[in-house]
Amino acid sequence: MPDPNPAAMDFFLTRRSRPAKILTAPVPDREALTPILTAAARVPDHGKLVPWRFVVLEKAALLRLATLARKRGNILGIEPERVEKGVSQFADAELVVAVIHVPRSTEKVPEIEQILSAGAVCVTLLNAALASGWGACWLTGWHVHDPDFCRKGLRLAPGEWVAGVIHLGTERHAPPDRPRPDIADITEWVST
């Protein structure tokens, strides 16, 4: 058994995402972000396929994506308030890491395991940012499910899709905690 790590366990028992709307500059620079990305890449990955990659979006790219989100939302006929919410996810952000699912063709590793690995990257990236002292939030939105937005805005290849959009920055204020599930209500113990 590995040695217990009470500090890590305390972190997991008290961690919480920070809403993207309270994140501001400063943000991690490349030197600070690299160990966060390195930690995120240390997830279960059956077959060592690396079925994911990162797209780091800095301010100029985020403003470009905000413009594209408005254009695509109007073309798709999305309600104006939903369009603006998608636009603000990029326009108001300072730094975002898009985690891209990259499917790998193999008979040994089912697609669902590759998808779950990409999800594990998202949560590990989020937690690594929080553990490094940054505010972080995992979002998606209508725009990342729009193939034209993803192709034009994020330059995704055919078959790739966005697993998560992780916002990073400095939190303006600590948000209140939210209610958590009652473990007894969601746990079944099987002894025989």
* pLDDT tens profile 16-59: 899 899 899 999 999 999 999 999 999 999 999 999 999 999 99
Residue 178 has pLDDT above 90, yes or no: no
pLDDT digits (tens, 9 = 90+) for 68-90: 999 999 999 999 999 999 999 99
Task: Assess contact for 89 and 165: CB atoms under 8 A.
Answer: yes
Residue 96 in contact with residue 110, Cβ under 8 Å?
no
- Please say whether the beta carbons of 107 and 11 come within 8 A: no
> Across the chain, what does the average pLDDT equal?
95
117 annotated as belonging to a binding site for a ligand:
no
Is 72 annotated to bind ligand? no
88 is in an annotated binding site: no
Q: How far apart are CA 145 and CA 171, in angstroms?
A: 27
Task: Identify the pLDDT of residue 176.
Answer: 82
Structural domains of the chain in order of their starting residue, each with its CATH number: 27-171 (3.40.109.10)
Of the candidates 120, 130, 124, the one whose C-alpha atom is nearest the C-alpha of residue 168 is: 130
Per-residue model confidence as pLDDT tens digits over 103-129: 999 989 999 999 999 999 999 999 999
145 annotated as belonging to a binding site for a ligand: no
Task: Establish whether 172 is an annotated binding residue.
Answer: no
130 appears as a binding residue in the annotation: no
Q: What is the β-pairing status of strands 135-139 and 95-101? A: unpaired
Q: What is the pTM of this model?
A: 0.94
46 annotated as a binding-site residue? yes
Measured CA distances, 129 to 45, 52, 93 (Å): 21, 18, 16
Q: Is 138 annotated as a binding residue?
A: yes
Q: What is the DSSP string of 31-61?
A: HHHHHHHHHHT-S--GGG---EEEEEE-HHH
